[in-house]
């Protein structure tokens, strides 16, 4: 029998029940995957709690989880691009990754290149969703280029460390916010040129100093309520506030006129499922991600491993800001 972490109600991390689940046969355009490593993402905690989020919170009961790596064990009748035994990865809804096996739509599945031997399944489970998100944030939401001074919040988190490493590779100067000395060091190791610890410094002041009053072309804003307004203070005219997450809660409403008085600012709430909706975009982004992963310039930073049956503990740790880098679950 296959096991999975099921939730019957939304709420605290303890709502997960590790139990037998039914896994249907893959239908026409579906693939049956045996998960070997499962990624934990802050998004999963929004859905577990029932917090507002750009994609609909699924109906209950449900097996959460949107990122995994595994082996194809079965294919539907219309599948021609995947074979039993392929090493595959995924990073998009539908939920269902917190399980030993699942079915998944083939048009959202990625075949792991055979020459990507430098990365384990655990590495990939840390790098697919966060790596694809970093890819579109750094190259499509705004094209980061040499000389840009950018602000990355939660710079030592799963997303943060990948953004820092990739943005450094692109030639940016990085200011990162964190909540501790240890996290500041990790962000610096990943490429942050300046770090601001929330309790000790003021990131707006640091941005002003580093940019000589000009402001940043983009702020990667993933904290939300606690920092959102001050993130706007960090932008240069026509700068972009990329509000791609809200770990501290949904940001307060924005006065549109204020975007003008602050300098014709752009505000966007970018989300992976929109940027990767077309198969072509998903494949191109994944290829771009795999190219940089082959160079070894981006490390996975899998610092927290749990058996999948202990997913509640993993959620408690990430929500308590105790994690640095990525968390991976072993089915």
Ligand X SMILES: NC(=O)c1ccc[n+]([C@@H]2O[C@H](COP(=O)([O-])OP(=O)(O)OC[C@H]3O[C@@H](n4cnc5c(N)ncnc54)[C@H](OP(=O)(O)O)[C@@H]3O)[C@@H](O)[C@H]2O)c1
Q: Which residues bind ligand X (CB under 6 A)?
A: 41-43, 129-130, 133, 154, 156-160, 178-179, 183, 222-223, 226, 244-248, 270-272, 318-319, 321, 323
DSSP bridge partners of 325? 157
**Contact present, 310 and 19 (Cβ < 8 Å):** no
Nearer to ligand X, 35 or 222 (CB): 222
Q: How far is the CB of 30 from ligand X (least distance, A)?
A: 24
DSSP bridge partners of 16? 7
Among residues 196, 219, 186, 218, the alpha carbon closest in space to that of 299 is found at 186
Q: How far is the CB of 306 from ligand X (least distance, A)?
A: 14
Residues in CB range of 54: below 8 A, 6 or more apart: 269, 271, 273, 274
Cα–Cα distance, 170 to 149 (Å, whole number): 11
Burial class (CB in 10 A: 0-12, 13-18, 19+), 291: exposed
Neighbouring C-beta atoms of residue 61, cutoff 10 Å = 11
Q: How far is the CB of 191 from ligand X (least distance, A)?
A: 16
Cα–Cα distance, 128 to 147 (Å, whole number): 27
**Contact present, 87 and 69 (Cβ < 8 Å):** yes
Nearer to ligand X, 43 or 88 (CB): 43
Q: How far is the CB of 279 from ligand X (least distance, A)?
A: 18
Nearer to ligand X, 92 or 216 (CB): 92
Nearer to ligand X, 23 or 43 (CB): 43
Q: How far is the CB of 288 from ligand X (least distance, A)?
A: 16
Nearer to ligand X, 78 or 252 (CB): 252
Cα–Cα distance, 136 to 289 (Å, whole number): 10
Residues in CB range of 89: below 8 A, 6 or more apart: 68, 69, 70, 109, 110, 112, 124, 125, 128
Q: How far is the CB of 263 from ligand X (least distance, A)?
A: 24
Cα–Cα distance, 148 to 216 (Å, whole number): 7
Nearer to ligand X, 55 or 82 (CB): 55
**Contact present, 252 and 154 (Cβ < 8 Å):** no
Q: How far is the CB of 167 from ligand X (least distance, A)?
A: 15
Q: How far is the CB of 157 from ligand X (least distance, A)?
A: 2
Nearer to ligand X, 112 or 178 (CB): 178
**Contact present, 236 and 211 (Cβ < 8 Å):** yes
Nearer to ligand X, 120 or 179 (CB): 179
Q: How far is the CB of 215 from ligand X (least distance, A)?
A: 22
Among residues 128, 26, 123, 43, the alpha carbon closest in space to that of 79 is found at 26
Nearer to ligand X, 26 or 65 (CB): 65
């Amino acid at each position: 029998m296959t096991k999975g972490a099921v939730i019957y109600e939304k709420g605290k991390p303890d709502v997960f029940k590790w139990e037998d689940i039914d896994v249907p046969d893959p239908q026409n355009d579906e693939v049956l995957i045996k998960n070997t490593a499962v990624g934990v993402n802050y998004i999963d905690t929004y859905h577990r709690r029932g917090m507002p989020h750009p994609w609909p919170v699924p109906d209950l009961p449900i097996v959460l989880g949107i990122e995994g790596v595994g082996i194809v064990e079965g294919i539907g009748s219309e599948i021609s691009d995947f074979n039993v035994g392929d090493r595959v990865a995924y990073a998009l809804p539908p939920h269902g990754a917190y399980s030993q096996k699942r079915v998944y739509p083939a048009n959202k599945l990625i075949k792991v290149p055979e020459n990507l031997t430098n990365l384990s399944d655990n590495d990939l489970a840390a790098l697919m969703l966060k790596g694809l998100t970093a890819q579109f944030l750094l190259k499509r939401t705004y094209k980061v280029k040499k000389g840009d001074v950018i602000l990355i919040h939660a710079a030592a988190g799963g997303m943060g460390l990948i953004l820092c490493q990739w943005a450094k590779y692109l030639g940016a100067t990085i200011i990162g916010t964190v909540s501790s000395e240890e996290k500041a060091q990790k962000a610096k190791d990943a490429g942050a040129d300046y770090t601001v610890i929330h309790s000790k410094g003021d990131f707006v002041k640091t941005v002003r100093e580093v940019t000589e009053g000009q402001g940043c072309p983009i702020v990667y804003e993933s904290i939300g309520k606690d920092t959102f307004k001050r993130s706007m203070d960090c932008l240069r005219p026509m700068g972009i506030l990329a509000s791609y997450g809200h770990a501290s809660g949904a940001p307060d409403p924005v006065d549109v006129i204020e975007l003008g008085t602050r300098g014709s600012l752009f505000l966007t709430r970018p989300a992976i499922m929109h940027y990767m909706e077309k198969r072509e975009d998903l494949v191109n982004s994944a290829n771009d991600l795999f190219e940089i992963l082959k160079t070894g310039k981006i490390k996975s930073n899998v610092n927290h491993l749990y058996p999948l049956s202990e997913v509640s503990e993993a959620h408690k740790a990430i929500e308590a800001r105790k994690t640095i880098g990525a968390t991976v679950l072993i089915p």
